[in-house]
Structure 1
Amino acid sequence: MKYEDLYISGVGSWYPKPVPVDKAIDAGWYDEGTRRRTGQLSATVAGDDDSQPEMAARAGTLAVRQAGLAQSDFGLLLHATTGFCGLDGWNVGSYLQHEVLGGHGVAFEVRQQSNGGMAAIELAAAYLAAGTDRTAALITASDRFAEPVWDRWRAYTGLVLGDGASAAVLSRQPGFARVLSVATESRAELEGAQRGDLPFRANPDPSDADAYPISLINRMKGFASNGMGLSEIFRRMNASLIKAVAVATDEAGIRPSDADHLIFPNFGRTMLQQEVLEPLGLDLDRTLWQWGREIGHAGATDQFGALDHLGREGLLEPGQRVLMTGIGLGFNWTSAVVEILERPTPVGPQL
């Protein structure tokens, strides 16, 4: 979808303190061979006071402050997450609507796994276009990969999972960046790649050794062994990634290689090169990998977190184009091209 009047007015992020990979290796959580493949330096790990919803509220507050909009200007809040939000039988979207927007607008969760934040751009754009009284939408993303459900160091061999939150304010009024285009691709036939051969359960049970801690690589292998095969899985994944990026960049009037900044999920170096950059014909040094290797793959937060990082480091200049792409289990891919209109001014330190 090509857009003429969709803007990013503010971004924010909040990440807890990083745990060095050296510590993980010394503790037996990680190994030297995997570090050489991933190039990972550390992973941000939430403390006892860093719940998933509270981190989202911190990032959302920063994004709203940077946008300079009143709470009453917001008609929508979309919260993206990959998993547990602090409590079962509870609405995290309403919590964020109350804490960040003072109860204004309406709130919904987006469960497109690690692509949730990017996928929410299209949803927010459609909502804002549906009524002239809807000025702005807030997208928040937050994830925490805590034990015993997750083993952040071994869930998937190509990456390390980090904790944190990010947010973006989308508006119909001019902001520091304009969204030129967004494209999404989906491959529902690959949902089994994260289900493997596991049966459905009535309730989560971390004591169930077959299902926990979650091993994405074991589930992928289980799915591949039942017919499709790993080569065909990755062929279809590559094709959908390429199509999402091609449509978004074509609608924006650029080639992928024309982008001044490339934002992808915070995968390890080898995984990023093999599963993203090589299929697209792009170089590692054009990406935010140097930032991501200190954070880890923090679920749905990576893209807005990276954009916030670029702004805080003074690396965004008028006229630049940023190519942002999310990849979510299921599988789904969303790619967006953003044009920088002015240098964003960070609002205070990261909370």
Structure 2
Amino acid sequence: MRHDNLYIAGVGAWYPKPMPVDEAIEAGWYDDATQRRSGPLSASVAGDDDTQPEMAVRAGSLALRHSGLDAAEFGLLLHATGAFCGLDGWNVASYLQHHVLADNGLSFEVKQHSNGAMAAIELAAAFLVGRPDRQAAMITASDRFVMPVWNRWRTYPGLVFGDGASAAVLSRTGGFARIASVVTASRPDLERAQRAGLSFMAFPDTSDTQAYPINLIQRMQTFADEEHGGRIAEVFKIMNQALIRSVEGAAEEAGTRPADIDHLVFPNFGRTMLRQEVLTPLQLDADKTVFEWARETGHVGATDQFGGLEYLMRAGRLEPGQRVLLCGIGLGFNWTSAVLEIDERPVPLAD
């Protein structure tokens, strides 16, 4: 969908101290060959006090300050996450609504895994159209990948997982970037790629060694064995087609081409995975991506896109007239792409 009056007024991100990949290799958690192919330098690793909700509060509070808006102007907070949020039987979105927006508006959790923050743009845009009495919406995202559920170094061979949070403020009345278009593609028939061979459980049971730690590539291979004669390349071909529809659709609605966009922010994949699953299908170059930043944080679930945008701002790389593509890829599978037009050079918050 094309938008004329939807803006990003503020961004914020908070990532814990990075752990060098060399330390993981020395400890036997990772290996040299994979590092050479994928190129990660480190992964942001949360400390004991860096819980998913608290990291989201930090990022959301920074985005609120950066926007210059008052919490009373917000009608909505959407929180995106894929991993465990700290407690079962509890509402993390309400916690953030209370601590970031001083109880203003409404709040909901968006469970779209790594596409959650991008999918939330679609939801927030529709909400703001229907609620002209409220100016802004907050989108937060946070994730933390820890054992015994996630082995951050080996869950998927093309990336390492990091921890952290990011946030963005959407406004109907102005901001440093206009959201020109948002397009989502969906292939729900691929949901079996994350559960093939596994049964549903009554509750999480980390003693089940078939299910934990999560092994995404093993699940996808089982799905390929059952549905595509073992040809996992066929699964990736379907995924690539949906990615192309989302990215090219968003670019067309914004009146541009993917190749003409100035900055590309995709999920924080490793070098080989980024090339094979994103850049080659889209015929795009790596030099416009934020890979140099991504290789220091790792893939932090739904936080990558707003985190990458915040990085571009801090690096002083956003200039009026430029376009930025944000693209999320979430288990399920869903792909959401947004094209931003930079209206003014954003000024980072003072440290």
Shorter-chain TM band? over 0.9
Compute the displacement of 1:348 (Å).
3.0
Q: Which amino acid aligns with 2:50?
A: D
Q: Which amino acid aligns with 1:180?
A: A
Mapping for residues 313-328 of structure 1, pairs under 5 Å: 313-328=315-330
- Do residues 74 (structure 1) and 74 (structure 2) align? yes
Aligned equivalents of 2:9, 2:94: Cα separation in 1: 22
Count of residue pairs brought into register by the alignment: 349
Compute the displacement of 1:331 (Å).
0.5
Spell out structure 1 runs of 4+ moving beyond 6 A: none
**TM-score, scaled relative to structure 2:** 0.99
Compute the displacement of 1:217 (Å).
1.1
Compute the displacement of 1:205 (Å).
1.1
Percent sequence identity is 66
> Which of 315, 340, 343 does residue 341 from structure 1 map onto?
343
> Which of 301, 304, 307 does residue 303 from structure 2 map onto?
301
Aligned equivalents of 2:131, 2:81: Cα separation in 1: 27
Compute the displacement of 1:285 (Å).
1.0
Aligned equivalents of 2:157, 2:24: Cα separation in 1: 14
Q: Which amino acid aligns with 2:37?
A: R
Mapping for residues 11-30 of structure 1, pairs under 5 Å: 11-30=11-30
Residue 272 of structure 1: aligned partner:
274
Mapping for residues 84-233 of structure 1, pairs under 5 Å: 84-228=84-228, 229-233=231-235
Residue 239 of structure 1: aligned partner:
241
**TM-score, scaled relative to structure 1:** 0.99
Aligned equivalents of 1:129, 1:246: Cα separation in 2: 25
For the residue of structure 1 that corresponds to 2:202, the secondary structure is coil
- 8 Å CA contact 1:16, 1:44 repeated in 2: yes
Q: Which amino acid aligns with 1:23?
A: E
Compute the displacement of 1:344 (Å).
0.9
- 8 Å CA contact 1:144, 1:163 repeated in 2: yes
For the residue of structure 1 that corresponds to 2:122, the secondary structure is helix
Compute the displacement of 1:132 (Å).
1.3
Compute the displacement of 1:231 (Å).
2.2
Compute the displacement of 1:334 (Å).
0.3
User: How large is the RMSD of aligned CA atoms in angstroms?
Assistant: 0.7
Aligned equivalents of 1:346, 1:146: Cα separation in 2: 31
Aligned equivalents of 1:218, 1:259: Cα separation in 2: 35
Compute the displacement of 1:146 (Å).
1.0
- Do residues 330 (structure 1) and 332 (structure 2) align? yes
Compute the displacement of 1:158 (Å).
0.3
Question: Residues 171-195 of structure 1: CA distance to partner in whole angstroms, max 9, x if unpaired?
Answer: 0011001000000000001001111
Q: Which amino acid aligns with 2:157?
A: T
Q: Which amino acid aligns with 1:161?
A: F
Compute the displacement of 1:148 (Å).
1.0
Aligned equivalents of 1:217, 1:36: Cα separation in 2: 19
- 8 Å CA contact 1:196, 1:218 repeated in 2: no
Q: Which amino acid aligns with 1:54?
A: E
Aligned equivalents of 1:348, 1:163: Cα separation in 2: 23
Gaps of 5+ in 1: none
Compute the displacement of 1:134 (Å).
1.5
